[in-house]
């Protein structure tokens, strides 16, 4: 009798083991065979450096995941037409959708509320942690103020060399900034840039002119020329075309006007004037977010970076921000070393960017000011920049 019990027990155990083994094998096969449909909504196309960076990240994801993903794209989408683009991606059963313009944010979040089986990842927006908080709606952005500051250091070194060589006097150390909109993202960026400049040339000042467009070549080109006419000797930008770089390269003023770019190296467009550029590298977030969907994991637990609820951001430390090449033919010899040292200082938190003897004024409320003798920590609580103050006496907004 005892023997019969043992045989029955062993038989039952073998059956259980067979069932478990089958399920494990079947699960592995399912994961191996799983294919994720990935959608992208762009406000531009490959001709726009900003959008092209997202397209590079898309290619990186294809390289990493191969036939495990299928990619769908909708290009040149306006804020007004983003719902049409989202409908197209929903119709092809996308599992995850990336959108690259902050102007899409409200519409994308609304779609997340009604399509809860799809993950929506919105770049450069700050509404993921606002009510209603949706588990399938996420925001992300690189901490680009770091790149802006390093770019400013490079511009400052060039200014100093011009002063040292007698090409420029200190009172003419004026830089210009082609800025898209008076948003915190833009204001934070040009402030970090100027503070980088002033870390080398403390008397430098800046003029800022808004274009009220993200990507109009002609407007950006003309805006840069207007700043050059005002006496700016270095022009930087938070705008999406190469217009400012070309304007600097074509400048016919007696003194050469130099350029600092964004989103891509602009040396090929301005070989004798473009000093350096910085960019956000979207690869880490996009690749890891797709991986999370493939593995059935939560995106914020899968992406490297600083997590704030349903929002993730990072800087140099996690490869989210990058400096492009230095233009060796026009920068001082020690510029590359200065770039390396400044990047390392930002990684180690041994340099404070938004700090100094400055008072900033909120452009939307003159009664709202900030004293930067107490450091402001950018991106402390969100990936989207929040510094929204114009520094008195050193930054002038021109019409």
Render pLDDT for 302-344 as a digit per residue (tens, 0 to 9). 999 999 999 999 999 999 999 999 999 999 999 999 999 999 9
DSSP SS3 for 100: coil
What whole-number percentage of the chain has pLDDT above 90?
89
Task: List Cβ neighbours of 181 (8 Å cut-off, separation of 6 or more).
Answer: 210, 212, 214
Length of the chain: 399
Per the listing, tokens 């939307």 go with 364
Rounded Cα gap, residues 148 and 321, in angstroms: 10
Q: Which of 248, 305, 255 is nearest to 277 (CA)?
A: 248
Contact by Cβ (8 Å): 37, 262: no
Structural tokens at position 40: 């992208």
User: All domains of the chain, ordered by start, with CATH?
Assistant: 34-142+282-316 (3.40.50.2300), 145-281+320-398 (3.40.50.2300)
Taking each helix axis as running N to C, give the angle between helix 335-347 and helix 145-164, from 0 to 180 degrees, rounded to the nearest 10.
Answer: 150
Q: Which of 47, 172, 109, 121 is nearest to 311 (CA)?
A: 121
Question: Which pLDDT belongs to residue 253?
Answer: 64
Question: Which pLDDT belongs to residue 31?
Answer: 46
Question: Which pLDDT belongs to residue 52?
Answer: 96
Question: Which pLDDT belongs to residue 15?
Answer: 42
Rounded Cα gap, residues 369 and 329, in angstroms: 42
Q: Which of 112, 61, 68 is nearest to 86 (CA)?
A: 112
Rounded Cα gap, residues 314 and 208, in angstroms: 27
Q: How many C-beta neighbours within 10 Å does residue 90 have?
A: 15
Q: Is the pLDDT of residue 17 over 60?
A: no
- The alpha helices in the chain, defined as continuous H runs, are 2-33, 49-65, 82-91, 105-114, 145-164, 184-198, 217-229, 243-250, 283-295, 335-347
What whole-number percentage of the chain has pLDDT above 70?
91
Q: Is the pLDDT of residue 127 over 90?
A: yes
269 confidence band (pLDDT: 50, 70, 90): very high
Q: What is the DSSP string of 311-367?
A: EEEE-GGGTSEEE----TTTS-TTHHHHHHHHHHHHHTT-S-SB-SS-EEEETTEEE
Question: Which pLDDT belongs to residue 318?
Answer: 97
252 confidence band (pLDDT: 50, 70, 90): confident
Q: Is the pLDDT of residue 26 over 60?
A: no
Task: Give the β-pairing of 174-179 and 234-238.
Answer: parallel
34 confidence band (pLDDT: 50, 70, 90): confident
For residue 132, is the peptide bond before it cis, meaning its omega torsion is within 30 degrees of 0? yes
Rounded Cα gap, residues 22 and 148, in angstroms: 55
Contact by Cβ (8 Å): 364, 176: no
Question: Which pLDDT belongs to residue 20?
Answer: 41
Range of lowest pLDDT (177-181, 199-203, 212-216): 212-216
Contact by Cβ (8 Å): 235, 247: yes
Q: How does DSSP classify residue 171?
A: G
Task: List Cβ neighbours of 297 (8 Å cut-off, separation of 6 or more).
Answer: 291
Question: Which pLDDT belongs to residue 32?
Answer: 55
Contact by Cβ (8 Å): 141, 124: yes
pTM for this predicted structure: 0.90
Q: Is the pLDDT of residue 10 over 90?
A: no
Residue 237: beta bridge partners? 178
Task: Give the β-pairing of 234-238 and 365-371.
Answer: unpaired
Contact by Cβ (8 Å): 179, 357: no
Contact by Cβ (8 Å): 390, 360: yes
């Amino acid at each position: 009798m005892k023997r019969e019990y043992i045989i029955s027990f062993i038989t039952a155990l073998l059956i259980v083991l067979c069932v478990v083994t089958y399920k494990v094998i079947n699960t592995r096969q399912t994961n191996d065979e799983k294919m994720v449909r990935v959608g992208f909504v762009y406000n531009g196309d490959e001709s726009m450096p900003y959008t092209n960076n997202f397209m590079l990240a898309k290619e990186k994801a294809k390289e990493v995941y191969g036939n495990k993903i299928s990619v769908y794209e909708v290009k040149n989408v306006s804020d007004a037409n983003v719902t049409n683009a989202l409908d197209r991606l929903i119709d092809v059963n996308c599992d995850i959708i990336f959108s690259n313009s902050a102007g899409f944010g409200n519409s994308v979040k609304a779609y997340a509320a009604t399509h809860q089986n799809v993950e929506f990842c919105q770049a450069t927006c700050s509404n993921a942690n606002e009510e209603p908080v949706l588990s399938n709606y996420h925001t992300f952005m690189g901490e680009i103020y770091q790149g802006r500051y390093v770019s400013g250091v490079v511009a400052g070194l060039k200014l100093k060399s011009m002063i040292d060589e007698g090409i420029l006097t200190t009172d003419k150390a004026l830089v210009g900034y082609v800025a898209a909109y008076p948003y915190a993202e833009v204001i934070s960026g040009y402030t970090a840039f100027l503070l980088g400049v002033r870390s080398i040339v403390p008397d430098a000042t800046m003029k800022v002119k808004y274009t009220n467009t993200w990507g109009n070549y002609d407007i950006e080109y003309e805006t840069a020329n207007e700043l050059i006419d005002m006496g700016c000797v270095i022009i930087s930008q938070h705008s999406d075309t190469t217009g400012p770089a070309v304007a600097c390269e074509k400048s016919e003023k007696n003194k050469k006007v130099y350029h600092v770019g964004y989103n891509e190296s602009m040396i090929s467009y301005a070989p004798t004037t473009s000093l350096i550029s910085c960019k956000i590298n979207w690869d880490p977030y996009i690749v890891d977010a797709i991986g999370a969907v493939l593995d059935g994991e939560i995106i914020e637990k899968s992406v490297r970076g600083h997590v704030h609820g349903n929002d993730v951001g990072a800087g140099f430390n996690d490869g989210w921000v990058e400096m492009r090449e230095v233009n060796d033919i026009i920068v001082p010899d020690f510029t590359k070393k200065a770039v390396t040292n400044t990047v390392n200082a930002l990684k180690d938190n041994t340099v404070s960017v938004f700090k100094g003897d400055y008072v900033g004024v909120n452009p939307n409320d003159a009664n709202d000011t900030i004293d930067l003798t107490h450091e402001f920590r950018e991106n402390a609580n969100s990936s989207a920049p929040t510094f929204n103050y114009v520094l008195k006496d050193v930054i002038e907004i021109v019409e």
